[in-house]
A and B are shown apart, each in its own frame.
Chain A
Amino acid sequence: MFRFIISRVLQAIPVLLVVVTITFFLVRVAPGGPFSAEKAVPPEVIKALEARYHLDEPIWQQYLGYLNDLVHGEFGPSFRYPGRTVNELIAGGLPITAELAFYAMLVAVIIGVCAGVFAALKPNTPQDYIPMSAAMLGICMPSFLMGPLLVLVFGIWFEWVPVSGWGDLPGDKILPAITLGSGYAAFLARLSRGGMLEVMSQDYIRTARAKGLPEWVVVLKHGLRGGLIPVVAFLGPAFAGLLSGSFVVETIFQIPGLGRFYVQAAFNRDYTMILGTTVFFATLIVLFNLLSDIVSVWINPKLRHQLREGK
């Protein structure tokens, strides 16, 4: 098990290196620099700015310099916000995006798993069809459609919840969390239904019932553990999706999180910010995939066995 973890961690390093390199050169290739402005800027000033940000050095030197900084955990100064470092900006936006992702995941897991399990208990009946159709709706209605619709109905027509911001007004976290989580809730509903169906038809479930255990114990204690294996495996990639979903949700609801920073940085050619957030995101995603793999193996006795025997 330990060796497994180590080998996965080691695998992650070349991935990150590839990410950094590709992003670094892509960003430099993009037309339009960070200092283009409508009013003509005196050439001396441009020279001074470029010197300060090392833009006048040959590109290989810039690349190696950046790698060096990265190893020390320095993402560099932001172009757009001269007084701030990218570290600072990421540190500012991260808690917000993390909170949003957490709430969204909470929504997704609670609603999705419950709906899926619920449906699996009586397959091919209305108890099954209704949640699954709703789930299909959740998958097919993208967040940038659902979000504005929710805003329109609950925020503007009914005025039940605020329509923008995060943490400024009570209740302004509800709509963004639901918008981001709904797609995943739908997916999880289908996954958990499938998993549960497969598990519930197994022999050991029949045994448990034959033993006289109440149904809910059968479901929760015995069924869920097996039925949720696909769900756990899904969580890793879902995290990556949540992160990218945050771009849109944060834009719609004007949430000052990392996703919105990233999109804006891309438009503003804020090189260091783009690089920094990309590397940061990549690291997070790799981390989460790793965690998800480990947890999958851990809760799935079959895989654990395979691992011990060497695949």
Chain B
Amino acid sequence: MISNKFYTLIILFCLLLITGCSGGESNVTTGNRDGILHWGNGTDPQELDPHIVTGVPEHHILTALLEGLVLKDPATLEPAPGVAERWEVSSDGKIYTFHLRHNARWSNGDPVTAHDFAWSWWRALQPALGNQYAYMFFPVKNAEAYLNQEIKDFSQVGVKVLDNYTLRVELSNPTPYFLQLLDHYSMFPVHRPTIEKFGAADERGSLWTRPGNFVGNGPFMLTEWQLFKKVDVAKNPYYWDAATVKLNGIRFHPTENVTTEERMFRSGQLHHTASIPIDKVAVYKKNNPELLHSHPYLGNYFYRINTKSPHLSDKRVRQALAMSINGQQIVEQVTKGGEVPAYTFTPPDTLGYTAKRGFEFNPEKARQLLADAGYPNGEGFPVTELLYNTSEGHRKIAVAIQQMWNQYLGVNITLNNQDWKVYLNSVDNGDYAIARAGWIGDYVDPNTFLDMWITGGGNNRTGWSNARYDELILKLAPTASDRETRYKLMTEAEAILLDEMPVIPIYIYNSKSLVHPSLKGLTPNILDYTVYKNLSLDSSYQGKPFNNKNHSGEAVH
């Protein structure tokens, strides 16, 4: 009745369906065989120029392509030799002399010299480039002035090339955590001839970062970069430590959707994920705990309080708010990701620094404080708005806290959520009463958490100001004679912060990933810092991550 043509079409369609359904080897299987690591990298990288980018996904890729003066030991996070094989620090703590190793090479064979670093740092401070991490250089003498164009001559900035392999850095003030900074990608070297071949040094987004053009001094080289699809890197034969690099290459997969990423992991497409969906944490904990890697992360989830707001300017009110939050309940029942409630602002054990707990969950005391401040049982307390950027996760927490404040203090809180960019604007302009915030440390040192709160600090945004705090953080701690003294001073500063409470810490971040059993060599640490040259793939494992105990080569699912 209907023509044969119609039936042929149907058959063709079914064939398409069926052929489409055949297996094909999973990424993990081929990766293990060829030595290629498949890494779920979160959001697609915006760029690969270390002086322009701002994100964590870019960081993962850049640490494979470039290497700074100093690295970190993955277990202790103490500075370890990178391009610099040794260094000396002057007794006043202001002069660092770095001795570069003679066998460090760029991926085109050129030697890595001190000139490279000096030029790279010059470039990073060119205002036209728009480097949002330019402030990492500010400890260096005159770096900030140079960026502001108060000083036009770069030779006045505290970077000097003594000879091809010796670099001298002079700081304005002793900065005990300076070595930690050097491992940040904004301080990585870039290859001058390559950049100048493709445009001006301060040209933003030229073609020098494309595969085939990119020249780096890290353990890997850029071989392919397809937006939204993948970034491939392959072993760099010129890397000074190439002998210890066991991987042949890494493919960074963009995995924006965390649910899809978990499915990719389950079907054997990834060795390592960037994150894990909340509703899957319990499932993995129960069935496959060996696949779930979880570790405290150098970040703090907290609420900012606008101290300029009349009813929030009394610190007793702020303390009352803090003490009526049941942090334990929040991490157990709301976030459920294995986080730890925060009772300090700096995460505990930040390079050995642990502040004293500043407060506790004590609704009785909270009520008392609120009454002392003039709002017994919350009477007369104006309706206050809690602002957060749109996300179900933040909303969950906000709703829970809203209920807690209502229940324990009798105060009325409304919730308001805004799009990310809009929210940032509002907080920046002080257009909020209480706002959710998060802070991830730029480097492993309590200073990155504490110097936010100096008077007028760019990241302060609460209107809080305390002279003694400023003195401790800006003058006394940097000039402390040793780490112990310094930490004691910072503990004192943090105690002030936690007493005045312009911020309410809620929980310490947690980095969570799913890791395929064939990936070896990962060392968990608070920065989620990975040293790729320590990683290796065991090819006796099969594609799917589950039930992979039999690895004699038999296919197990």
The reply, when asked whether chain A contacts chain B directly with Cβ atoms under 8 A, is: yes
Chain A positions near chain B (C-beta within 8 angstroms):
31-34, 36-42, 44-45, 47-49, 51-52, 77, 80-84, 89, 92-93, 110, 114, 117-118, 121, 155-156, 159-164, 168-174, 215-216, 219-220, 254, 256, 260, 267-269
- Which A residue sits closest to B459, measured CB to CB? A40
A164 to B20 CA separation, bound complex (whole angstroms): 14
A114 to B131 CA separation, bound complex (whole angstroms): 59
B204, B425, B439: which contacts A82 (Cβ < 8 A)?
B204
A268 to B420 CA separation, bound complex (whole angstroms): 8
B54, B419, B424, B438: which contacts A267 (Cβ < 8 A)?
B419
* A32 lies within 8 A of B127 (CB): no
* B263 lies within 8 A of A164 (CB): yes
B19, B47, B229, B442: which contacts A256 (Cβ < 8 A)?
B229
Residues of B within 8 A of A169 (CB): 24
A33, A38, A171: which contacts B21 (Cβ < 8 A)?
A171
Residues of B within 8 A of A110 (CB): 9, 13
Residues of A within 8 A of B229 (CB): 168, 256
Q: Can you report 27 residue pairs joining A to B where beta carbons are below 8 Å apart?
A: A31-B422, A33-B421, A40-B457, A40-B459, A44-B149, A45-B127, A45-B130, A49-B130, A52-B204, A81-B46, A82-B46, A82-B52, A82-B205, A83-B206, A83-B209, A159-B267, A163-B263, A164-B257, A164-B263, A170-B19, A170-B20, A170-B22, A170-B24, A171-B17, A171-B21, A173-B20, A269-B421
Residues of B within 8 A of A52 (CB): 128, 130, 204
Residues of A within 8 A of B333 (CB): none
A36, A51, A83, A114: which contacts B205 (Cβ < 8 A)?
A83
* B47 lies within 8 A of A163 (CB): no
A41 to B428 CA separation, bound complex (whole angstroms): 11
A118 to B22 CA separation, bound complex (whole angstroms): 32
CB proximity of B134 to chain A, nearest CB, Å: 6
Interface residues of B in 253-276 (CB under 8 A from A): 256-257, 260, 263-264, 267
Interface of B is mostly: loop
Indicate with 1 or 0, residue by residue over B34-68, a CB within 8 angstroms of chain A CB atoms: 00000000000011110010100000000000000
Q: A36 with B421: in contact, given A44-B147, A52-B128, A161-B20 (CB under 8 Å)?
A: yes
- Answer whether residue B132 sits at the interface, using C-beta atoms and an 8 A cutoff: yes
Most B-side CB within 10 Å, residue of A32, A121, A268: A32
Q: A36 with B424: in contact, given A83-B49, A164-B264, A256-B229 (CB under 8 Å)?
A: yes
Interface residues of B in 106-151 (CB under 8 A from A): 127-135, 147-149
* B260 lies within 8 A of A32 (CB): no
Residues of B within 8 A of A36 (CB): 421, 424-425, 428
* B256 lies within 8 A of A48 (CB): no
* A161 lies within 8 A of B21 (CB): yes
A268 to B55 CA separation, bound complex (whole angstroms): 14
CB proximity of B233 to chain A, nearest CB, Å: 17
Give the total of B residues in contact with A, Cβ under 8 Å: 61
* A84 lies within 8 A of B127 (CB): no
Residues of B within 8 A of A31 (CB): 421-422, 425
Residues of A within 8 A of B128 (CB): 48, 51-52
- Which A residue sits closest to B3, measured CB to CB? A216
Q: A82 with B421: in contact, given A45-B134, A161-B20 (CB under 8 Å)?
A: no
Nearest 4 pairs of A and B residues by beta carbon: A40-B458, A32-B421, A171-B20, A256-B228
- Answer whether residue B227 sits at the interface, using C-beta atoms and an 8 A cutoff: yes
Most B-side CB within 10 Å, residue of A36, A80, A121, A173: A36
A164 to B228 CA separation, bound complex (whole angstroms): 13
Q: A45 with B227: in contact, given A36-B425, A173-B20, A220-B3 (CB under 8 Å)?
A: no
CB proximity of A99 to chain B, nearest CB, Å: 14
CB proximity of A74 to chain B, nearest CB, Å: 15
* A81 lies within 8 A of B47 (CB): yes
A162 to B24 CA separation, bound complex (whole angstroms): 11
CB proximity of A258 to chain B, nearest CB, Å: 11
Residues of A within 8 A of B127 (CB): 44-45, 47-48
Interface residues of B in 424-442 (CB under 8 A from A): 424-425, 428, 437-439, 442
CB proximity of A223 to chain B, nearest CB, Å: 12
Taking A37-B424, A45-B130, A114-B6 as known contacts, 11 extra A-B pairs with beta carbons closer than 8 A to each other, sorted by chain A number, are A32-B422, A82-B49, A84-B205, A121-B1, A156-B263, A161-B21, A163-B260, A163-B263, A170-B21, A173-B20, A256-B228
* A82 lies within 8 A of B134 (CB): no
Residues of B within 8 A of A32 (CB): 419-425
A269 to B20 CA separation, bound complex (whole angstroms): 38
Residues of B within 8 A of A268 (CB): 421
A161 to B267 CA separation, bound complex (whole angstroms): 11
- Which A residue sits closest to B423, measured CB to CB? A32
CB proximity of A242 to chain B, nearest CB, Å: 19
A49 to B134 CA separation, bound complex (whole angstroms): 13
CB proximity of B502 to chain A, nearest CB, Å: 16
CB proximity of B387 to chain A, nearest CB, Å: 13
Q: A174 with B20: in contact, given A89-B227, A256-B229 (CB under 8 Å)?
A: yes
- Answer whether residue B2 sits at the interface, using C-beta atoms and an 8 A cutoff: yes
* B129 lies within 8 A of A48 (CB): yes
* A42 lies within 8 A of B134 (CB): yes
Residues of A within 8 A of B47 (CB): 81-83
- Answer whether residue B77 sits at the interface, using C-beta atoms and an 8 A cutoff: no
Q: A84 with B227: in contact, given A44-B127, A77-B205, A267-B420 (CB under 8 Å)?
A: yes
A95 to B485 CA separation, bound complex (whole angstroms): 62
Residues of A within 8 A of B228 (CB): 92-93, 256, 260
- Answer whether residue B373 sits at the interface, using C-beta atoms and an 8 A cutoff: no
CB proximity of B41 to chain A, nearest CB, Å: 13
Residues of B within 8 A of A45 (CB): 127, 130-132, 134, 147
Residues of A within 8 A of B148 (CB): 44
A88 to B1 CA separation, bound complex (whole angstroms): 50
- Which B residue sits closest to A178, measured CB to CB? B17
